[in-house]
Amino acid sequence: MPARPQIVDSHCHLDFPDFADDLPEVIDRALEAGVTRMVSIATRLREVPGVRKISETHAPVFFAAATHPMNAASEPMAQLETLLQISRHPKMVGIGETGLDYHYTAETKSAQKQSLSIHIEAARQSGLPLIIHARNADHDMADILTREYAAGAFTCVMHCFSSGPELAKTALDLGFYLSMSGIATFPKSREVRDIFSAAPIDRILVETDSPYLAPPPHRGKRNEPAHTALTAEVGARLFDLDYAEFAKATSENFDRLFAKAAAWTAEAA
């Protein structure tokens, strides 16, 4: 059987307890599915040692780190120098996920905005892409990203994009990327699929956000990086491409945005 086309899971959480018992097998299944690189995200800065160790133990895994917006008020406020120090690790490839979440934690808007501003500056100074989480905060998110970009350029991906068309347009106009998760495969996600299909193919990434948001036929169960391929199959249909073409395009997009990961991969090859 020919090998599956190579693809990237640009956002997962391999340090979560869900993977504590079988992480090596999870990574093996990803490789068998053609998912040759994964970015594992720390959602609290105190959890960086865990994701860093996973990346050092498993060659296909890179990591990113930030204070998740839902943790912005309960964790110590991120410090710019701390983020920059973490970013110097050779497999630390992104600043995030940061952003705004008004669905569960609207009462902490002020702390979320302060945290987001610090992370944006870390992305500017480190040259690493910003990884944005946005939920029920489209207007504020578009406003902040536009204003901050005017104050100094940075690169960015809208992780697990499921917001509205206006925020998508703002992000794309700023040169940012939209990342497709299992949400895009759900039957009721027609608007999300329409947003992706109207976007340029050279701005699309794919992710699992595992252990969450498993695409069919695994919906309701633990998600894992191997299932990136299932979301990519839906993405390929949206863009009227065959799977190999879509996998190649999104992998090239990943390399363009996550240039540090691409350089590490090339050097290790």
CATH number of the domain residue 255 falls in? 3.20.20.140
In the prediction, which pLDDT does 3 show?
Answer: 75
Give the span between the Cα atoms of 230 and 238, in whole angstroms: 13
Predicted confidence at residue 2, as pLDDT, reads 56
239, 197 Cβ separation under 8 angstroms: yes
Strand 35-42, strand 61-65: pairing: parallel
The fraction of the chain above a pLDDT of 90, given in percent, is 97
Q: How confident is the model over 77-123, as pLDDT tens digits? A: 999 999 999 999 999 999 999 999 999 999 999 999 999 999 999 99
Average pLDDT over the chain, rounded to an integer = 97
Distance from C-alpha of 233 to C-alpha of 209, rounded to nearest angstrom: 17
Query: pLDDT category, 67, cuts 50, 70, 90?
Result: very high
Q: Which amino acid is at 135?
A: R
**Domain of 156, in residue numbers:** 7-268
67, 43 contact by CB (below 8 A)? yes
Q: Region 191-211: what's the mean pLDDT?
A: 98
**b/e sequence 76-93, b meaning 16+ C-beta within 10 Å:** eebeeeebeebbebebbb
Total tally of structural domains belonging to the chain = 1
Question: pTM for this structure?
Answer: 0.97
User: Pairing mode, if any, of strands 156-158 and 177-180?
Assistant: parallel
Position 189 confidence tier, pLDDT thresholds 50, 70, 90 = very high
Average pLDDT of the segment spanning 53-75:
98
Of 238, 182, 239, whose CA–CA distance to 214 is shortest? 182
Q: Which of 128, 126, 158, 153 is nearest to 141 (CA)?
A: 158
268 pLDDT band, cuts 50/70/90, is confident
Question: Is there a domain that residue 1 lies in?
Answer: no
Residue 2 lies in a domain: no
Please determine, for residue 1, whether its predicted confidence score (pLDDT) is greater than 60. Answer: no
The residues, ordered by sequence, that sit 6+ positions from 231 with a Cβ below 8 Å of its Cβ are 180, 181, 182, 184, 185, 206, 207, 208, 215
Residue 230 included in any domain: yes
Q: Is residue 120 part of a domain?
A: yes
251 in a domain, yes or no?
yes
pLDDT of 109 reads 98
Q: Contact 139/109 with Cβ under 8 angstroms?
A: no
Q: Would you say residue 69 lies in a domain?
A: yes
For residue 198, count other CB atoms closer than 10 A to its CB: 12
Arithmetic mean of pLDDT, 186-206: 97
Whether 205 is covered by a domain: the verdict is yes
- Helix 259-268 and helix 243-257: axis angle, to 10°? 110
Give CA–CA dist 67/69, Å, rounded: 6
Sign of CA dihedral 26, 30, 36, 39: negative
Whole-number Å distance between alpha carbons of 156 and 178 = 9
H/E run at residue 150: helix 138-151
Can you tell me the distance from the alpha carbon of 214 to that of 185, in angstroms, rounded to the nearest whole number? Answer: 9
254 falls within a domain: yes
- At 81 the three-state DSSP class reads helix
List the structure tokens of 146: 């536009």
Q: Where are the beta strands (DSSP E) in 116-246?
A: 130-135, 156-158, 177-180, 204-206
- pLDDT tens digits, one per residue of 231-251: 999 999 999 999 999 999 999
